[in-house]
Structure 1
Amino acid sequence: MRSWGKLGFGWPARIAGLLLLCFWFGASIGDDTPAVPAQVLVFGDSLSAAYQLPTEAGWVAGLRERLAERAPDRFEVTNASVSGETTSGGLSRLPEVLETGDYDWVLLELGANDGLRGLPLTRIEANLQSLIDRVEDHGARVVLLGIMLPTNYGPAYAEPFAAMYERLAETNGLPVLPFLLDGVASERELMMDDGIHPNAEGQERVLENVWGVVAPLWELDECSVQSN
């Protein structure tokens, strides 16, 4: 077998070759670079914007805190919710918001203000579909957070409004929380005096509702929780 010397390589070349071999071997063992956290965007209205509460009392802040405790460094949560937002306003605002990050997940919570204004259901659904399309075009996955209207809106409007979210979820193959305020809106002690927005205690229950949907998606089952 011919040696490097006989092939005309001197000691500097031999050392360089050994360094290259060590680099290749080290790289083959594995890369210890930390994984990039998944980027989560919450895009909603006052129900997600901690309406009339300190930001840290809202369910989104609670989600951020829980993820930091139970899945350290795996997620980063951005809240781009605005009180009073409608689906039309969301459509206008979404492109700029999406430019602020490389989002993996978008928790979409809009439509309540449209419904409270009694806007045509066909328009609300079309806007929500456009929002879903734009998020998916961005490369993110949508979790649809639905809402229901107060009973005084009547079943002719309120029932198809509620069904709209599950229909959109089925059509687009999305995970869905049918009613964000499930177990909250019906409990006066968990709601503000306006009967529309959850108080601080109600926000904690909203967090549990959202967690029940996202935890399985993000593989945050009980075993992983206990191990952290």
Structure 2
Amino acid sequence: MQPMPIDATASPHTRRSLLLWPAALALLSACRQATTGVRVAPGQTVLAFGDSVTHGTGAGPGEDWPSLLAAKTGWQIVNAGVPGDTAQAARSRLAPLLRAHRPALVIVELGGNDFLRRRTHAAVKEDLRALLQAAREAGAQAVLVSVPELSLLGALSRRLSDADLYADLAQEEKVPLVPDVFSDVLSNPAWRADHVHPNAAGYREMATRLHAALVEQGIAAP
């Protein structure tokens, strides 16, 4: 980036602002960079922790994204998806799973059922924060999967977007984020079984894009 020329006739306040401008842009760019993770080797245990979309509702046995991701990575993925689960309720079931499986990685996909129950984004964010922190305290790294925002515009346009809280939380907690995958799949009628669940093709797309994101973040091998 070329330095901005500074007018010698500018006020001292203006000159200070112009001098600080490149540093401010560099800081903003650094904040927007994706958080990278630690490589998880084939054979290690990974916990897929979520709701019905992690469970695989809408497709047949073995067509859920955790099973498909396991085939791509060689990881031993425990599918801990519970249909109807909320980020709030999930807080009580994570600790026993962490003790039982001692995963190297926890992939968190939750929040959709909280949105359906009209819980505030602030409350959902804090529940998800507690899950991420519990995973880290157990010695696992965590990855957060963004979930679509419920909105009238999204319903009318048939184009869903991630709830903003996921990007904010990932930045605050310094955890890798997988954005857009869930929203893009549910925005495509060919990839969904209903308005909230992918079908088999949708889960294949989710697994492919989750794998690509985890490779980019240094967590999965190419």
- Same fold by TM-score greater than 0.5: yes
Residues 1:188 and 2:194 aligned together: no
* 1:120-170 per-position Cα deviation (integer Å, ceiling 9, x unaligned): 111111111111111111010001001113432779xxx997110001110
3-state SS in 1 of match to 2:143: strand
Q: CA RMSD in A?
A: 2.3
Whether the aligned pair in 2 keeps the contact of 1:42 and 1:108 (CA below 8 Å) is: yes
Residues 175, 213 of structure 1: 8 Å contact kept: no
**C-alpha distance in 2 between matches for 1:137 and 1:218:** 19
Identify if the C-alpha distance between structure 1 residues 180 and 44 changes in structure 2 by more than 3 Å, giving closer, same or farther: farther
- Classify 1:65/1:38 alpha carbon distance in 2 versus 1 (closer, same or farther; 3 Å): same
Identity of aligned residues (%): 27
Separation in 2, partners of 1:134, 1:154: 33
The answer to whether the 8 Å contact 1:162/1:178 transfers is no
Runs of 4 or more consecutive aligned structure 1 residues displaced over 4 Å after TM superposition: none
| Superposed CA offset, 1:70-96 (max 9, x none) | xxxxx3111111111101111011111
Letter in 2 for 1:114: D
User: CA 1:219–1:125 in 2, change beyond 3 Å: closer, same or farther?
Assistant: closer
The residue number in structure 2 matching 1:67 is: 73
Give 1:205's aligned amino acid: E
Q: CA deviation at 1:104?
A: 0.8
Q: Which runs of 5+ in 2 are unaligned?
A: 1-40
Aligned residue for 1:89? 89
CA distance in 1, matches of 2:110, 2:142: 12
Deviations 1:167-204 (A, max 9, x none): 11101111101233243111112111x31111011111
Q: Which has the higher contact order (CA 8 A, sep 6+)?
A: 2
For the pair shown, the structure with the greater C-alpha radius of gyration is: 1
The answer as to 2:98 corresponding to 1:98 is yes
Q: Aligned with 2:184: secondary structure?
A: coil
**For 1:149-228, what aligned pairs fall within 5 Å after superposition?**
149-152=149-152, 162-192=163-193, 194-216=194-216, 217-221=218-222
Counterparts of 2:118 and 2:161, CA distance in 1 = 12
Deviation at 1:36, TM superposition (A): 8.6
In structure 2, C-alpha distance between the alignment counterparts of 1:115 and 1:153, rounded to whole Å: 15
